Amino acid sequence: MPTAMFTTRLDADLKAELERIARAEGRSASWVANRAIRAFIEERRAVRDLVDLGLEAVAREDPGVRPKTVHDWMVADDDRPFSSER
């Protein structure tokens, strides 16, 4: 994949930690930063996609899940998957 130059300022302690991780992994600081930025962008894109799906569902007036159903699932003592039943 083609690369492009990107310059940014980092806190000194963040830069030191980046370099420490890079040394420990046998990689360049640039490679580690590139991977971190890529992961950040992918996570943000996924969140944005989920928000868009939710907004589309609201616009279609799709039925939702009752808050009590979600709460009961979250506080349950077991690891059961969330029920798709509404």
Residue 12 has what pLDDT? 97
Number of domains in the chain: 1
What are the tens digits of pLDDT across the range 16-65? 999 999 999 999 999 999 999 999 999 999 999 999 998 998 898 888 88
User: In the numeric block, which tokens belong to residue 55?
Assistant: 């907004």
**Residue range of the domain that includes 27:** 12-75
Residue 83, pLDDT > 80, answer no
Range 58-81 average pLDDT: 86
In a domain, 64, yes or no: yes
In a domain, 67, yes or no: yes
In a domain, 7, yes or no: no
In a domain, 52, yes or no: yes
In a domain, 38, yes or no: yes
Residue 1, pLDDT > 70, answer yes
